[in-house]
Amino acid sequence: MLKQYKLSNYKFILVFFVIALNTIGVLLVGSARPSLMNKQLLGMISGIILMIFVSLIDYKFVLKFSWLIYAFMILMLLSVLVFGDSSGGAQRWIDLKFMRFQPSELAKILLILFFAFFFMKYEEKINSPKTIFASLILAAIPLLFIIKQPDLSTTITTALIFVTLIFVAGISYKLVAGVLAVCVPSFIILFTLLIQDKLPFIRSYQVKRVMAWLYPEQYPDDAYQQQNSIMAIGSGQLWGKGLNNAEATSVKNGKFILEPQTDFIFAVAGEELGFVGTVCIIILLLFITIECIFIARKAKDTAGKLICCGMAALIGFQSAINIAVTSGLLPNTGLPLPFVSYGLTSLWSLYIGMGFVLNVGLQARKH
């Protein structure tokens, strides 16, 4: 379980990027909701301790329990649907008294660990119909539970992580091309049906979000948060208005965004830190993603490579979607910005994932 590692192999640069980004996040959360700053700071400190602890556990030992990990993930997601805590029409949380636990956030990490084991085990048969079908079924079960909450944005992000994992595992390029040839026109058809409200698995409020994104002037009640976010980002100009500013026109002070400390934290960053601050956040997210890929390239086995690429996909896709939403490039989805948005479940889950990436780096293959 625990091994002797060389300190020189520890990827301190990745730790630095993560802590730097999370520090900015704590300051932004404190500015958006001062009452939550200490809780987020405590989450950061405990998350760093958790990351260091996980980084010293041999990931190959953990992957021996992959089927138990998968069963635990399904049990978590099922428990939300049975006795989860509801808020805003969604049932995504479990009330643990001291915090609201969101299983779908941890499920992303558990899914990466499980498929790292699964695709390594069937690496030689990755292109066989049996392996592909089995992996699709195993991925579909947790995705169905997440979309039932309902949480379409997390479902899409988790699906993108799975697609990345199966691609990195070595699926045939011919098969990828064939899937794309089917998916692109299918997406156009589905999008057309969505805006006509003819998709049974899409809820009315989700249709309104898309319509508000396309026609904000016709759906002012549904578009106001995203439109205010765009204005807030632009109002920061180059250097921003400063953290904890008292301007009445600020998105947080004027309550122009309901929960600025979570999904729209990038709007707070744009307004208070300006273009320079938002670019720093984007660069740190990019560096974390790239560092995960660099560690994946030197991983000593397929499982290690998949863990790192899975985390890179999680950070990369989720960051891109969050920033695109706050800047008006995508419809409002409700995804946290990694290491920046408020949320202990998301924060701890990300630190656990980074811990496994660091452990892969400690066991890099020798050249």
Q: Please identify which residue in the block is written with the tokens 């805006």.
A: 195
What average pLDDT does this structure show over 35-40?
Answer: 95
What are the domain boundaries of the chain?
A: 7-362
- What does the pLDDT read at residue 24? 98
Tokens standing for residue 315: 């950070």
For residue 366, what pLDDT is reported? 63
d(CA 355, CA 352): 5
* Residue 249, pLDDT score: 76
Top-ranked range on mean pLDDT: pick from 199-208, 249-258, 264-273: 264-273
The pLDDT of 74-96, averaged and rounded, is 82
* Adjacency order of strands within the sheet including 100-101: 85-87, 90-95, 100-101
Residue 270 and residue 236 in contact, taking contact as beta carbons nearer than 8 Å: yes
> Quick one: pLDDT at residue 74?
97
Percent of the chain surpassing pLDDT 90: 65
The per-residue pLDDT for range 158-189, each reduced to its tens digit, is: 999 999 999 999 998 788 788 778 777 877 77
Model pLDDT, residue 245: 83
pLDDT of 89 strictly over 70? no
Tell me: the pLDDT tens digits for 278-315?
999 999 999 999 999 999 999 999 999 999 999 999 99
Q: Tell me the C-alpha to C-alpha distance, in Å, between residue 366 and each of 69, 93, 301.
A: 30, 44, 12
Look at residue 199 in the predicted model and tell me its pLDDT.
66
C-alpha span between 272 and 269 (Å, rounded)? 5
pLDDT tens figures, 96-107: 877 788 999 999
Mean pLDDT of 304-327: 96
Q: Which of 100, 67, 93, 90 is nearest to 79 (CA)?
A: 93
Looking at residue 198, its pLDDT comes to 67
User: In the predicted model, what is the mean pLDDT of the chain?
Assistant: 90
Separation of alpha carbons 194 and 197, rounded Å? 5
3-state secondary structure of 99: coil
Mapped onto helix, strand or coil, the DSSP state of residue 245 is: coil
pLDDT band at 143 (very low <50, low <70, confident <90, very high): very high
**pLDDT of 81 above 90:** no
How many other β-carbons are positioned within 10 Å of the β-carbon of residue 106? 21
Q: Please name the residues in contact with 299: beta carbons below 8 A apart, sequence gap of 6 or more.
A: 305, 307, 308, 360, 363, 364, 365
- Coil, strand or helix: which one is 149? coil
DSSP 6-44: -GGGS-HHHHHHHHHHHHHHHHHHHHH-GGGHHHHHHHH
Q: If you average pLDDT over residues 308-323, what whole number do you get?
A: 97
Please, what is the end-to-end C-alpha distance for the chain in angstroms?
Answer: 25
Mean pLDDT of 241-268: 85
46 pLDDT more than 90 = yes
- pLDDT of amino acid 201: 63
pLDDT the model gives residue 2: 65
Once rounded to an integer, what is the mean pLDDT over residues 23-34?
A: 95
Classify 233 as helix, strand or coil: helix
Return the DSSP state at 64. Answer: T
Q: Quick one: pLDDT at residue 253?
A: 77
Contact (Cβ atoms closer than 8 angstroms) between residue 334 and residue 263:
yes
Top-confidence residue, 159 or 82? 159
The pLDDT value recorded for residue 186 is 76
Q: Residue 197: its pLDDT value, please? A: 67
CA distance 158 to 152: 10
- pLDDT for residue 211: 81
